Amino acid sequence: MSYVDEVLAKVKEKNASEPEFLQAVDEVLNSLRPVIEKNEEMYKKQALLERLCEPERQVKFRVPWVDDNGQVQVNTGYRVQFNSAIGPYKGGIRLHPSVYIGIVKFLGFEQIFKNSLTGLPIGGGKGGSDFDPKGKSDNEIMKFCQSFMTELCRHIGADTDVPAGDIGTGGREIGYMFGQYKRIRNLYEGVLTGKGLTFGGSLARTEATGYGLLYLTNEMLKSNGIDIAGKTVCISGAGNVAIYATQKAQQLGAKVVTCSDSTGWIYDSEGIDVALLKEVKEVKRARLDAYAAARPSAVYHDKKAEGSNVWDIKCDIALPCATQNELDIESAKTLVANGVLAVAEGANMPTTLEATEYFQNNGVLFAPGKAANAGGVACSALEMSQNSERLSWTFDEVDQKLQGIMVNIFHNLDAAAKKYGFEGNYVVGANIAGFEKVAEAMLAQGVV
Protein backbone atom coordinates (compact mmCIF):
# COMPACT_ATOMS: atom_id res chain seq x y z
CA MET A 1 0.00 0.00 0.00
CA SER A 2 1.36 3.47 -0.86
CA TYR A 3 2.08 5.97 1.91
CA VAL A 4 -0.84 8.18 0.78
CA ASP A 5 -3.25 5.21 0.94
CA GLU A 6 -1.93 4.21 4.35
CA VAL A 7 -2.55 7.71 5.73
CA LEU A 8 -5.97 7.97 4.08
CA ALA A 9 -7.00 4.69 5.72
CA LYS A 10 -5.77 5.87 9.13
CA VAL A 11 -7.51 9.24 8.83
CA LYS A 12 -10.75 7.53 7.79
CA GLU A 13 -10.63 5.17 10.75
CA LYS A 14 -9.85 7.91 13.23
CA ASN A 15 -12.41 10.46 11.98
CA ALA A 16 -15.19 8.18 10.76
CA SER A 17 -17.99 10.47 11.98
CA GLU A 18 -16.67 13.56 10.13
CA PRO A 19 -17.59 13.15 6.43
CA GLU A 20 -16.79 16.74 5.42
CA PHE A 21 -13.30 16.51 6.92
CA LEU A 22 -12.71 13.15 5.21
CA GLN A 23 -13.87 14.59 1.89
CA ALA A 24 -11.37 17.44 2.15
CA VAL A 25 -8.50 15.15 3.16
CA ASP A 26 -9.37 12.70 0.40
CA GLU A 27 -9.23 15.40 -2.26
CA VAL A 28 -5.98 16.92 -1.02
CA LEU A 29 -4.00 13.75 -0.35
CA ASN A 30 -5.04 12.12 -3.61
CA SER A 31 -3.86 15.11 -5.59
CA LEU A 32 -0.55 15.21 -3.68
CA ARG A 33 0.39 11.71 -4.86
CA PRO A 34 2.84 12.89 -7.54
CA VAL A 35 4.77 14.99 -5.00
CA ILE A 36 4.73 12.39 -2.23
CA GLU A 37 5.71 9.53 -4.51
CA LYS A 38 8.89 11.37 -5.50
CA ASN A 39 10.10 11.27 -1.89
CA GLU A 40 7.89 8.71 -0.25
CA GLU A 41 10.39 7.25 2.22
CA MET A 42 11.38 10.60 3.67
CA TYR A 43 7.79 11.84 4.04
CA LYS A 44 6.77 8.55 5.65
CA LYS A 45 9.68 8.54 8.12
CA GLN A 46 8.78 12.09 9.08
CA ALA A 47 5.05 11.15 9.30
CA LEU A 48 4.45 14.40 7.49
CA LEU A 49 0.98 13.56 6.19
CA GLU A 50 -0.17 12.23 9.56
CA ARG A 51 1.00 15.48 11.15
CA LEU A 52 -0.66 17.52 8.45
CA CYS A 53 -4.01 15.79 9.06
CA GLU A 54 -3.92 16.17 12.85
CA PRO A 55 -4.75 19.64 14.18
CA GLU A 56 -2.11 21.15 16.46
CA ARG A 57 -4.87 22.03 18.91
CA GLN A 58 -8.69 21.87 19.13
CA VAL A 59 -10.76 23.80 21.64
CA LYS A 60 -14.43 23.02 22.31
CA PHE A 61 -16.35 25.10 24.80
CA ARG A 62 -19.70 26.01 26.28
CA VAL A 63 -21.28 29.30 25.18
CA PRO A 64 -24.09 30.26 27.57
CA TRP A 65 -26.09 33.45 26.92
CA VAL A 66 -29.41 34.98 27.95
CA ASP A 67 -32.06 35.63 25.27
CA ASP A 68 -34.49 38.57 25.18
CA ASN A 69 -37.04 36.59 27.23
CA GLY A 70 -34.57 36.06 30.05
CA GLN A 71 -34.13 32.41 29.07
CA VAL A 72 -30.60 30.99 29.26
CA GLN A 73 -29.46 29.41 25.99
CA VAL A 74 -26.43 27.15 25.54
CA ASN A 75 -24.39 26.69 22.36
CA THR A 76 -21.12 24.92 21.62
CA GLY A 77 -18.08 26.87 20.46
CA TYR A 78 -15.06 25.53 18.55
CA ARG A 79 -11.62 26.69 17.50
CA VAL A 80 -9.36 24.36 15.57
CA GLN A 81 -5.74 25.56 15.37
CA PHE A 82 -4.67 23.32 12.55
CA ASN A 83 -1.21 24.28 11.37
CA SER A 84 1.14 27.13 12.30
CA ALA A 85 4.18 26.13 10.21
CA ILE A 86 4.17 29.30 8.11
CA GLY A 87 2.50 31.82 10.44
CA PRO A 88 -0.11 32.43 13.16
CA TYR A 89 -3.34 30.47 12.71
CA LYS A 90 -5.80 32.35 10.54
CA GLY A 91 -9.34 31.47 9.49
CA GLY A 92 -12.92 32.54 10.00
CA ILE A 93 -15.64 31.86 12.53
CA ARG A 94 -18.78 30.18 11.20
CA LEU A 95 -22.10 30.65 13.01
CA HIS A 96 -24.62 28.17 11.63
CA PRO A 97 -26.74 25.39 13.17
CA SER A 98 -24.89 22.79 11.06
CA VAL A 99 -21.53 23.55 12.71
CA TYR A 100 -19.84 20.62 14.52
CA ILE A 101 -16.23 19.58 14.84
CA GLY A 102 -16.15 17.86 11.40
CA ILE A 103 -17.14 21.08 9.59
CA VAL A 104 -14.62 23.17 11.53
CA LYS A 105 -11.87 20.63 10.81
CA PHE A 106 -12.63 20.49 7.09
CA LEU A 107 -12.54 24.27 6.89
CA GLY A 108 -9.35 24.49 8.99
CA PHE A 109 -7.63 21.85 6.87
CA GLU A 110 -8.50 23.65 3.62
CA GLN A 111 -7.34 26.89 5.18
CA ILE A 112 -3.76 25.59 5.57
CA PHE A 113 -3.30 25.30 1.81
CA LYS A 114 -5.34 28.37 0.94
CA ASN A 115 -3.30 30.56 3.26
CA SER A 116 -0.08 29.12 1.89
CA LEU A 117 -1.22 29.87 -1.67
CA THR A 118 -1.64 33.57 -0.86
CA GLY A 119 2.14 33.80 -0.40
CA LEU A 120 1.56 35.55 2.94
CA PRO A 121 2.82 34.32 6.34
CA ILE A 122 -0.38 32.83 7.79
CA GLY A 123 -1.11 29.38 9.18
CA GLY A 124 -4.43 27.53 9.05
CA GLY A 125 -7.27 27.55 11.58
CA LYS A 126 -11.05 27.83 11.78
CA GLY A 127 -13.74 28.21 14.40
CA GLY A 128 -17.44 28.50 14.89
CA SER A 129 -20.54 27.59 16.79
CA ASP A 130 -23.89 25.89 16.22
CA PHE A 131 -25.54 29.22 17.13
CA ASP A 132 -28.10 30.33 14.51
CA PRO A 133 -28.01 34.13 14.03
CA LYS A 134 -31.21 34.05 11.94
CA GLY A 135 -34.11 35.78 13.64
CA LYS A 136 -32.03 36.93 16.62
CA SER A 137 -32.17 40.53 17.85
CA ASP A 138 -29.06 42.73 17.89
CA ASN A 139 -28.98 42.36 21.65
CA GLU A 140 -29.04 38.57 21.43
CA ILE A 141 -26.28 38.59 18.81
CA MET A 142 -24.17 40.76 21.12
CA LYS A 143 -24.79 38.52 24.13
CA PHE A 144 -23.79 35.45 22.16
CA CYS A 145 -20.67 37.09 20.68
CA GLN A 146 -19.53 38.33 24.08
CA SER A 147 -19.95 34.93 25.68
CA PHE A 148 -18.20 33.22 22.75
CA MET A 149 -15.24 35.60 23.03
CA THR A 150 -15.07 35.33 26.82
CA GLU A 151 -13.73 31.81 26.35
CA LEU A 152 -12.06 32.19 22.94
CA CYS A 153 -9.90 35.12 24.09
CA ARG A 154 -7.69 32.77 26.11
CA HIS A 155 -6.62 30.97 22.97
CA ILE A 156 -6.07 33.73 20.39
CA GLY A 157 -3.88 36.84 19.93
CA ALA A 158 -2.42 39.02 17.17
CA ASP A 159 0.68 36.77 16.91
CA THR A 160 -1.03 33.49 17.84
CA ASP A 161 -4.37 33.10 16.11
CA VAL A 162 -6.37 35.75 14.26
CA PRO A 163 -9.99 34.77 13.47
CA ALA A 164 -12.21 36.50 10.89
CA GLY A 165 -15.74 36.24 9.47
CA ASP A 166 -17.42 33.37 7.65
CA ILE A 167 -21.03 32.23 7.24
CA GLY A 168 -23.13 34.06 9.84
CA THR A 169 -20.22 36.22 11.03
CA GLY A 170 -20.05 39.65 9.39
CA GLY A 171 -18.93 43.11 10.48
CA ARG A 172 -21.50 43.34 13.28
CA GLU A 173 -20.41 40.10 14.95
CA ILE A 174 -16.68 40.87 14.53
CA GLY A 175 -17.29 44.26 16.19
CA TYR A 176 -18.94 42.69 19.25
CA MET A 177 -16.22 40.04 19.51
CA PHE A 178 -13.44 42.62 19.20
CA GLY A 179 -15.02 44.77 21.92
CA GLN A 180 -15.16 41.84 24.32
CA TYR A 181 -11.58 40.73 23.56
CA LYS A 182 -10.28 44.24 24.22
CA ARG A 183 -12.23 44.50 27.45
CA ILE A 184 -11.08 41.19 28.89
CA ARG A 185 -7.47 41.16 27.68
CA ASN A 186 -6.90 44.92 27.98
CA LEU A 187 -5.13 44.81 24.63
CA TYR A 188 -5.87 46.89 21.54
CA GLU A 189 -4.40 44.65 18.89
CA GLY A 190 -5.32 43.18 15.50
CA VAL A 191 -6.70 39.97 16.97
CA LEU A 192 -9.58 39.76 14.51
CA THR A 193 -9.87 40.80 10.88
CA GLY A 194 -12.92 42.11 9.11
CA LYS A 195 -13.13 44.88 11.73
CA GLY A 196 -15.00 48.14 11.20
CA LEU A 197 -13.06 50.94 9.50
CA THR A 198 -13.03 53.09 12.63
CA PHE A 199 -11.22 50.44 14.70
CA GLY A 200 -8.52 48.91 12.54
CA GLY A 201 -10.46 47.39 9.67
CA SER A 202 -9.08 47.45 6.15
CA LEU A 203 -10.74 49.09 3.20
CA ALA A 204 -11.74 46.46 0.60
CA ARG A 205 -11.90 43.60 3.15
CA THR A 206 -15.69 43.42 2.76
CA GLU A 207 -15.37 43.13 -1.00
CA ALA A 208 -12.20 41.01 -1.02
CA THR A 209 -13.47 37.43 -1.32
CA GLY A 210 -16.00 38.19 -4.06
CA TYR A 211 -13.67 40.53 -5.94
CA GLY A 212 -10.77 38.12 -5.55
CA LEU A 213 -12.91 35.31 -6.95
CA LEU A 214 -13.48 37.34 -10.10
CA TYR A 215 -9.82 38.40 -10.40
CA LEU A 216 -8.75 34.77 -10.36
CA THR A 217 -11.59 33.61 -12.60
CA ASN A 218 -10.78 36.33 -15.10
CA GLU A 219 -7.10 35.36 -15.15
CA MET A 220 -8.00 31.70 -15.65
CA LEU A 221 -10.34 32.61 -18.52
CA LYS A 222 -7.80 34.95 -20.13
CA SER A 223 -5.05 32.36 -20.04
CA ASN A 224 -7.45 30.00 -21.81
CA GLY A 225 -8.33 32.58 -24.46
CA ILE A 226 -11.80 33.46 -23.11
CA ASP A 227 -13.10 37.01 -22.58
CA ILE A 228 -15.39 37.39 -19.56
CA ALA A 229 -17.19 40.40 -21.06
CA GLY A 230 -20.65 39.50 -22.33
CA LYS A 231 -20.72 36.13 -20.58
CA THR A 232 -23.73 34.94 -18.56
CA VAL A 233 -22.92 34.02 -14.97
CA CYS A 234 -24.90 32.00 -12.40
CA ILE A 235 -24.05 32.69 -8.78
CA SER A 236 -25.45 30.91 -5.72
CA GLY A 237 -25.68 32.49 -2.29
CA ALA A 238 -26.69 36.01 -1.35
CA GLY A 239 -24.18 36.70 1.38
CA ASN A 240 -20.86 38.48 1.53
CA VAL A 241 -19.09 36.43 -1.12
CA ALA A 242 -22.02 36.25 -3.55
CA ILE A 243 -22.84 39.97 -3.39
CA TYR A 244 -19.33 41.21 -4.14
CA ALA A 245 -18.70 38.51 -6.72
CA THR A 246 -21.82 39.74 -8.51
CA GLN A 247 -20.66 43.34 -8.31
CA LYS A 248 -17.19 42.63 -9.73
CA ALA A 249 -18.50 40.29 -12.44
CA GLN A 250 -20.78 43.08 -13.63
CA GLN A 251 -17.92 45.60 -13.53
CA LEU A 252 -15.97 43.23 -15.79
CA GLY A 253 -18.85 43.23 -18.28
CA ALA A 254 -20.50 39.91 -17.46
CA LYS A 255 -24.21 39.47 -16.74
CA VAL A 256 -25.10 37.75 -13.46
CA VAL A 257 -28.62 36.33 -13.59
CA THR A 258 -29.06 34.38 -10.33
CA CYS A 259 -28.60 34.44 -6.57
CA SER A 260 -29.94 32.22 -3.77
CA ASP A 261 -30.34 31.75 -0.04
CA SER A 262 -31.24 28.70 2.00
CA THR A 263 -34.95 28.93 1.17
CA GLY A 264 -35.12 30.05 -2.45
CA TRP A 265 -33.44 31.50 -5.50
CA ILE A 266 -33.85 34.30 -7.99
CA TYR A 267 -33.62 34.34 -11.78
CA ASP A 268 -33.36 37.92 -12.98
CA SER A 269 -33.34 38.17 -16.77
CA GLU A 270 -32.15 41.80 -16.63
CA GLY A 271 -29.18 40.91 -14.45
CA ILE A 272 -29.03 41.06 -10.64
CA ASP A 273 -29.51 44.54 -9.19
CA VAL A 274 -26.66 44.62 -6.64
CA ALA A 275 -27.92 47.71 -4.82
CA LEU A 276 -31.30 46.05 -4.27
CA LEU A 277 -29.69 42.77 -3.21
CA LYS A 278 -27.56 44.63 -0.64
CA GLU A 279 -30.62 46.45 0.65
CA VAL A 280 -32.52 43.17 1.09
CA LYS A 281 -29.65 41.17 2.61
CA GLU A 282 -27.32 43.62 4.35
CA VAL A 283 -29.82 46.21 5.58
CA LYS A 284 -33.19 44.49 5.97
CA ARG A 285 -31.69 41.02 6.55
CA ALA A 286 -34.75 39.67 4.69
CA ARG A 287 -35.39 36.60 2.51
CA LEU A 288 -34.99 36.72 -1.26
CA ASP A 289 -38.70 36.89 -2.06
CA ALA A 290 -38.36 40.53 -0.97
CA TYR A 291 -35.95 41.04 -3.89
CA ALA A 292 -38.45 39.60 -6.38
CA ALA A 293 -41.25 41.69 -4.92
CA ALA A 294 -39.27 44.85 -5.68
CA ARG A 295 -38.02 43.89 -9.17
CA PRO A 296 -40.36 43.08 -12.09
CA SER A 297 -37.68 41.23 -14.09
CA ALA A 298 -36.99 38.80 -11.22
CA VAL A 299 -38.68 35.46 -10.62
CA TYR A 300 -38.50 33.83 -7.19
CA HIS A 301 -38.26 30.05 -6.93
CA ASP A 302 -38.95 28.19 -3.70
CA LYS A 303 -36.22 25.54 -3.41
CA LYS A 304 -38.18 22.95 -1.47
CA ALA A 305 -41.47 23.33 -3.33
CA GLU A 306 -39.85 23.17 -6.79
CA GLY A 307 -36.77 21.04 -6.09
CA SER A 308 -34.86 23.37 -8.43
CA ASN A 309 -31.75 25.50 -8.02
CA VAL A 310 -29.67 28.15 -9.77
CA TRP A 311 -27.65 25.54 -11.70
CA ASP A 312 -30.73 24.80 -13.83
CA ILE A 313 -30.18 28.13 -15.61
CA LYS A 314 -28.06 28.11 -18.77
CA CYS A 315 -24.80 29.99 -18.24
CA ASP A 316 -21.18 30.30 -19.37
CA ILE A 317 -19.68 30.64 -15.90
CA ALA A 318 -20.91 29.14 -12.61
CA LEU A 319 -19.75 30.56 -9.29
CA PRO A 320 -21.02 28.62 -6.24
CA CYS A 321 -20.80 31.06 -3.32
CA ALA A 322 -23.11 29.63 -0.61
CA THR A 323 -21.93 26.55 1.24
CA GLN A 324 -20.28 23.11 1.06
CA ASN A 325 -21.59 20.40 -1.30
CA GLU A 326 -24.25 22.64 -2.86
CA LEU A 327 -23.28 21.66 -6.42
CA ASP A 328 -23.73 17.93 -6.93
CA ILE A 329 -23.36 15.58 -9.89
CA GLU A 330 -26.90 16.20 -11.16
CA SER A 331 -26.32 19.95 -11.25
CA ALA A 332 -22.90 19.40 -12.85
CA LYS A 333 -24.53 17.37 -15.64
CA THR A 334 -27.11 20.10 -16.22
CA LEU A 335 -24.42 22.80 -16.36
CA VAL A 336 -22.28 20.80 -18.80
CA ALA A 337 -25.29 20.02 -20.99
CA ASN A 338 -26.01 23.76 -21.05
CA GLY A 339 -22.46 24.51 -22.24
CA VAL A 340 -20.80 25.91 -19.11
CA LEU A 341 -17.18 26.96 -19.78
CA ALA A 342 -15.85 27.57 -16.29
CA VAL A 343 -16.67 26.92 -12.64
CA ALA A 344 -14.88 28.73 -9.83
CA GLU A 345 -15.65 28.11 -6.16
CA GLY A 346 -16.42 31.19 -4.07
CA ALA A 347 -17.58 29.03 -1.16
CA ASN A 348 -15.46 26.39 0.55
CA MET A 349 -15.86 22.95 -1.06
CA PRO A 350 -19.25 23.76 -2.67
CA THR A 351 -18.72 21.15 -5.39
CA THR A 352 -18.88 17.44 -4.54
CA LEU A 353 -15.88 15.31 -5.56
CA GLU A 354 -18.02 13.54 -8.18
CA ALA A 355 -19.17 16.83 -9.69
CA THR A 356 -15.62 18.22 -9.73
CA GLU A 357 -14.39 15.18 -11.65
CA TYR A 358 -17.31 15.46 -14.06
CA PHE A 359 -16.39 19.05 -14.87
CA GLN A 360 -12.73 18.16 -15.36
CA ASN A 361 -13.57 15.19 -17.57
CA ASN A 362 -15.81 17.36 -19.72
CA GLY A 363 -13.29 20.10 -20.43
CA VAL A 364 -14.75 22.68 -18.02
CA LEU A 365 -12.17 25.01 -16.44
CA PHE A 366 -12.42 24.42 -12.69
CA ALA A 367 -10.88 26.64 -9.99
CA PRO A 368 -11.05 25.16 -6.47
CA GLY A 369 -12.12 27.29 -3.49
CA LYS A 370 -8.79 27.20 -1.75
CA ALA A 371 -7.40 29.25 -4.64
CA ALA A 372 -10.48 31.04 -5.95
CA ASN A 373 -11.76 32.37 -2.62
CA ALA A 374 -8.36 33.13 -1.08
CA GLY A 375 -8.90 36.87 -1.61
CA GLY A 376 -10.70 37.17 1.72
CA VAL A 377 -7.92 35.76 3.81
CA ALA A 378 -5.30 37.53 1.71
CA CYS A 379 -6.96 40.84 2.46
CA SER A 380 -7.22 39.82 6.12
CA ALA A 381 -3.46 39.36 6.12
CA LEU A 382 -3.17 42.85 4.62
CA GLU A 383 -5.36 44.09 7.48
CA MET A 384 -2.92 42.46 9.93
CA SER A 385 0.00 44.25 8.24
CA GLN A 386 -1.79 47.59 8.49
CA ASN A 387 -2.61 46.97 12.17
CA SER A 388 1.04 46.14 12.92
CA GLU A 389 2.21 49.26 11.11
CA ARG A 390 -0.55 51.37 12.71
CA LEU A 391 -1.35 52.58 9.19
CA SER A 392 -4.37 52.46 6.88
CA TRP A 393 -3.96 51.97 3.16
CA THR A 394 -6.40 53.39 0.58
CA PHE A 395 -9.06 51.23 -1.09
CA ASP A 396 -7.07 51.30 -4.34
CA GLU A 397 -3.83 50.26 -2.64
CA VAL A 398 -5.50 47.25 -1.04
CA ASP A 399 -7.44 46.38 -4.19
CA GLN A 400 -4.27 46.54 -6.30
CA LYS A 401 -2.44 44.24 -3.88
CA LEU A 402 -5.44 41.88 -3.90
CA GLN A 403 -5.43 41.73 -7.70
CA GLY A 404 -1.70 41.01 -7.71
CA ILE A 405 -2.14 38.21 -5.17
CA MET A 406 -5.00 36.54 -7.07
CA VAL A 407 -3.21 36.71 -10.41
CA ASN A 408 -0.09 35.21 -8.75
CA ILE A 409 -2.11 32.44 -7.16
CA PHE A 410 -3.49 31.45 -10.54
CA HIS A 411 -0.05 31.37 -12.17
CA ASN A 412 1.47 29.44 -9.25
CA LEU A 413 -1.13 26.72 -9.39
CA ASP A 414 -1.04 26.64 -13.17
CA ALA A 415 2.74 26.20 -13.03
CA ALA A 416 2.55 23.51 -10.31
CA ALA A 417 0.01 21.55 -12.38
CA LYS A 418 2.25 21.76 -15.44
CA LYS A 419 5.40 20.82 -13.48
CA TYR A 420 3.85 17.53 -12.39
CA GLY A 421 2.26 16.72 -15.76
CA PHE A 422 -1.32 17.74 -14.92
CA GLU A 423 -1.69 20.77 -17.17
CA GLY A 424 -5.08 22.45 -16.75
CA ASN A 425 -5.90 20.52 -13.57
CA TYR A 426 -6.11 23.44 -11.19
CA VAL A 427 -7.25 21.28 -8.26
CA VAL A 428 -4.00 19.32 -8.35
CA GLY A 429 -2.05 22.54 -9.00
CA ALA A 430 -3.57 24.36 -6.00
CA ASN A 431 -3.03 21.47 -3.62
CA ILE A 432 0.57 20.96 -4.68
CA ALA A 433 1.48 24.66 -4.68
CA GLY A 434 -0.11 25.12 -1.25
CA PHE A 435 1.48 21.96 0.16
CA GLU A 436 5.08 22.50 -0.95
CA LYS A 437 5.67 25.60 1.17
CA VAL A 438 3.97 24.19 4.29
CA ALA A 439 5.82 20.87 3.99
CA GLU A 440 9.18 22.58 3.66
CA ALA A 441 8.50 24.74 6.73
CA MET A 442 7.28 21.74 8.76
CA LEU A 443 10.34 19.68 7.89
CA ALA A 444 12.67 22.58 8.72
CA GLN A 445 11.03 23.06 12.13
CA GLY A 446 11.59 19.47 13.27
CA VAL A 447 9.15 17.14 14.95
CA VAL A 448 6.65 19.54 16.50
The residues, any chain, with a CB within 8 Å of residue 117's CB and separated by 6 or more, are 370, 371, 374, 409, 412, 413, 430, 433, 434
| Residue number with CB closer to ligand NDP (261 or 414) | 261
Q: How many residues bind ligand NDP, per CB under 6 A?
A: 23
Closest CA to 127 of 99, 150, 146, 153: 99
The residues, any chain, with a CB within 8 Å of residue 157's CB and separated by 6 or more, are 185, 187, 189, 191
126 a catalytic residue: yes
| Residue number with CB closer to ligand NDP (218 or 348) | 348
CA gap 202, 180 in Å, rounded: 20
Residue type at 35?
V
The contact mask relative to ligand NDP for 209-228 (x = CB under 6 A, - = no) is: x-------------------
Binding residue for ligand NDP, selected from 108, 123, 239, 368, defined by CB under 6 A: 239
Of 114, 126, 143, 195, which is the active-site residue? 126
Site residues (CB under 6 A) for ligand NDP, limited to 143-182:
165-168
Least Cβ distance, residue 4 to ligand NDP (angstroms)? 26
* Residue 418 CA neighbour count, 13 Å, CB half: 6
Binding residue for ligand NDP, selected from 88, 102, 125, 237, defined by CB under 6 A: 237
- CA torsion angle for 19, 23, 29, 33 (degrees, to 10)? 130
Distances (CA, A) of 438 to 34, 83, 300, 445: 16, 9, 45, 11
The contact mask relative to ligand NDP for 190-209 (x = CB under 6 A, - = no) is: -------------------x
Binding residue for ligand NDP, selected from 309, 348, 403, 425, defined by CB under 6 A: 348
CA gap 186, 79 in Å, rounded: 22
| Residue number with CB closer to ligand NDP (29 or 402) | 402
| Residue number with CB closer to ligand NDP (7 or 192) | 192
| Residue number with CB closer to ligand NDP (380 or 387) | 380
Site residues (CB under 6 A) for ligand NDP, limited to 315-334:
321-323
Residue type at 444?
A
Q: 331: burial class by Cβ within 10 Å (0-12, 13-18, 19+)?
A: buried
- Residues near ligand NDP, by CB under 6 A: 96, 165-168, 209, 237-242, 261-263, 321-323, 346-348, 373, 376
**Active-site amino acid positions:** 126
